[in-house]
């Protein structure tokens, strides 16, 4: 058993790495510039650069020593207008360069500095055969850069990184290994704190739905199997079909309208006490009851016609004892498999219920993060869901071996 658990944990590593790469590409490459998504395309270059610097988006994606910055996009060198006296032309900078080391594709550079108190200073003329590297001292910023003899058809300005592997992906993975999920751009708080605050309300909502819904559905499935073909079984199948046919949104809106607004039995919005969870829990149980009852009924009926049931009946055992002690136990493997698919969503929350009832759980946090383009929070929820799914699958396999001694985990 221990060897199997270790092997399964090791097998989770490639899947986890694949999820990390996929989420990184999805949120950092496919979706475009995170700064433009959050601040808008009309934001100033200085604001976009400050956002990139704060959240690490000013570094190369995978690896690299230099990164082109927003202070100046690639500019045609033939459009530079040199001064007739000095022969140098000012670069079209969108903001003053902060402290750091830069590289410019020019043969000659003259820098003009300004410190935090407004004091000005000019650096010595830097001359060289190719791209020029220059450094802006700490506490200063380069307000003006003049160049001469540009190399190539386009001028490029790049900033030097701390190292070759000082990249977005490497820093992203290293932060995850340290338990750092990043910083929320919307709330200006650590993502881990936001998830911790939302985990409690989500569990208080989803755990009762899972436990209550499973227990009720199993009891109804047992009754349907015991009275199969009779009036109760037929009525249960009809009601289950009707429950499955009603859209989830209809359940939510109907419950709010009749039980909260008309009858005033439950609060309609907020999260102040357990009473605010009663109606969403009830809706969550009822909306999934039809699907659960039909599945559990089929799983139990599949065991009723097995030879061991006829053997128990021939020994004179009571029908309820056979049904609960023998049939139900052997039906638990498909039931556990079915229920385990819902466990990861206990932590990631119920998007619909939390949004409609104003419950500050992870589902509501995810919806707000998507609307505000808070990529760090959305990315953390995706990774958390993927890890939980793998852990639950391992736990489900261990339950198989516990429920059926014939199953050997190797």
pLDDT at 25: 82
377-386: pLDDT as tens digits: 888 888 888 8
Final residue of a structural domain among 137, 160, 183: 160
Average predicted confidence (pLDDT) for the chain: 85
Whether the Cβ atoms of residue 87 and residue 93 lie closer than 8 Å to each other? no
Instruction: Tell me, yes or no, whether 232 and 368 share the same domain.
Output: yes
282-291: pLDDT as tens digits: 999 998 899 9
Quote the domain boundaries for residue 114.
66-160
Across residues 360-380, what is the average pLDDT? 84
Task: State the CATH number of the domain containing residue 70.
Answer: 2.60.120
Distance from C-alpha of 373 to C-alpha of 39, rounded to nearest angstrom: 9
Q: Is residue 32 part of a domain?
A: no
**Torsions phi, psi for 147 (to 5 deg):** -130, 160
Domain count, the chain: 2
Instruction: Tell me, yes or no, whether 198 and 117 share the same domain.
Output: no
Across residues 31-47, what is the average pLDDT? 78
Predicted confidence (pLDDT) at residue 267 exceeds the cutoff of 80:
yes
Across residues 374-402, what is the average pLDDT? 86
Instruction: Tell me, yes or no, whether 207 and 101 share the same domain.
Output: no
Q: Is residue 174 part of a domain?
A: no
Q: Is residue 205 part of a domain?
A: yes
- 132-164 in b/e form (b: 16+ CB < 10 A) is bebebeeebbbebbbbbbbbeeebbbbbebeee
CA 6, 12, 13, 16 torsion-angle sign:
negative
Across residues 229-242, what is the average pLDDT? 91
Instruction: Tell me, yes or no, whether 235 and 340 share the same domain.
Output: yes
179-228: pLDDT as tens digits: 888 888 888 889 999 999 888 888 899 899 999 999 999 999 999 988 98
Instruction: Tell me, yes or no, whether 75 and 206 share the same domain.
Output: no
- CB atoms < 10 A from the CB of 198, how many? 25
Instruction: Tell me, yes or no, whether 122 and 268 share the same domain.
Output: no
Tokens linked to 327: 């049939």
Percent of the chain with pLDDT over 90: 15
Instruction: Tell me, yes or no, whether 277 and 334 share the same domain.
Output: yes
Whether the Cβ atoms of residue 222 and residue 328 lie closer than 8 Å to each other? yes
Predicted confidence (pLDDT) at residue 31 exceeds the cutoff of 70:
no
Percent of the chain with pLDDT over 70: 97
Instruction: Tell me, yes or no, whether 196 and 295 share the same domain.
Output: yes
Q: Give pTM, 2 decimals.
A: 0.77
Instruction: Tell me, yes or no, whether 196 and 120 share the same domain.
Output: no
Q: Is residue 307 part of a domain?
A: yes
Task: State the CATH number of the domain containing residue 278.
Answer: 1.10.3720.10
317-341: pLDDT as tens digits: 887 888 888 888 888 888 998 998 8
80-98: pLDDT as tens digits: 777 766 678 888 888 888 8
Instruction: Tell me, yes or no, whether 261 and 339 share the same domain.
Output: yes
Predicted confidence (pLDDT) at residue 248 exceeds the cutoff of 90:
no
104-122: pLDDT as tens digits: 888 778 888 888 777 888 7
Instruction: Tell me, yes or no, whether 148 and 275 share the same domain.
Output: no
Whether the Cβ atoms of residue 148 and residue 87 lie closer than 8 Å to each other? yes
Across residues 74-79, what is the average pLDDT? 74
Predicted confidence (pLDDT) at residue 407 exceeds the cutoff of 80:
no
Instruction: Tell me, yes or no, whether 133 and 198 share the same domain.
Output: no
């Amino acid at each position: 058993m221990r060897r199997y658990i270790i092997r399964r944990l090791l097998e989770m590593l490639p899947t986890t790495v694949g999820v990390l790469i996929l989420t990184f590409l999805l949120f950092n490459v496919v979706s475009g510039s995170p700064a433009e998504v959050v601040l808008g395309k009309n934001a100033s270059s200085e604001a976009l650069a400050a956002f990139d610097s704060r959240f690490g988006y000013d570094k190369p994606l995978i690896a690299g020593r230099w990164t082109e910055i927003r202070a100046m996009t690639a500019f045609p060198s033939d459009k530079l207008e040199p001064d007739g006296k000095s022969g140098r032309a000012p670069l079209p900078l969108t903001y003053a360069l902060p402290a750091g080391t830069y590289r410019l594709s020019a043969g000659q550079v003259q820098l003009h500095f300004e410190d935090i108190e407004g004091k000005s200073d000019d650096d010595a003329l830097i001359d060289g055969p190719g791209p020029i590297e220059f450094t802006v001292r700490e506490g200063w910023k380069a307000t003006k850069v003049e160049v001469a003899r540009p190399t190539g058809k386009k001028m490029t300005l790049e900033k030097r990184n701390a190292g070759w592997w000082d990249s977005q992906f490497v820093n992203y993975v290293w932060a995850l290994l340290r338990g750092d999920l990043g910083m929320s751009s919307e709330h200006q708080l650590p993502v881990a704190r936001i998830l911790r605050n939302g985990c409690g309300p989500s569990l208080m909502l989803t755990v009762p739905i899972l436990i209550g819904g499973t227990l009720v559905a199993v009891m109804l499935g047992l009754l349907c199997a015991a009275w199969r073909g009779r009036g109760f079984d037929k009525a249960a199948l009809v009601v289950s079909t009707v429950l499955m046919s009603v859209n989830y949104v209809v359940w939510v809106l109907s419950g709010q309208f009749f039980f909260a607004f008309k009858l005033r039995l439950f609060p309609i919005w907020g999260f102040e006490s357990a009473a605010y969870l009663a109606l969403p829990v009830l809706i969550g149980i009822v909306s999934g009851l039809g699907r659960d009852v039909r599945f559990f009924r089929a799983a139990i009926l599949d065991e009723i016609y097995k030879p061991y049931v006829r053997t128990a009946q021939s020994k004179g055992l009571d029908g309820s004892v056979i049904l609960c002690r023998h049939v139900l136990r052997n039906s638990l493997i498909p039931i556990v498999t079915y229920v385990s698919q819902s466990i990861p969503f206990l932590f990631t929350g119920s998007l619909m219920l939390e949004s409609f009832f104003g419950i500050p759980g992870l589902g509501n946090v995810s919806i707000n993060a998507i609307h505000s383009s808070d990529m760090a929070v959305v990315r953390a929820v995706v990774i958390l869901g993927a890890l939980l799914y793998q852990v639950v699958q391992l736990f489900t396999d261990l339950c198989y071996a516990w429920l059926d001694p014939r199953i050997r985990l190797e």
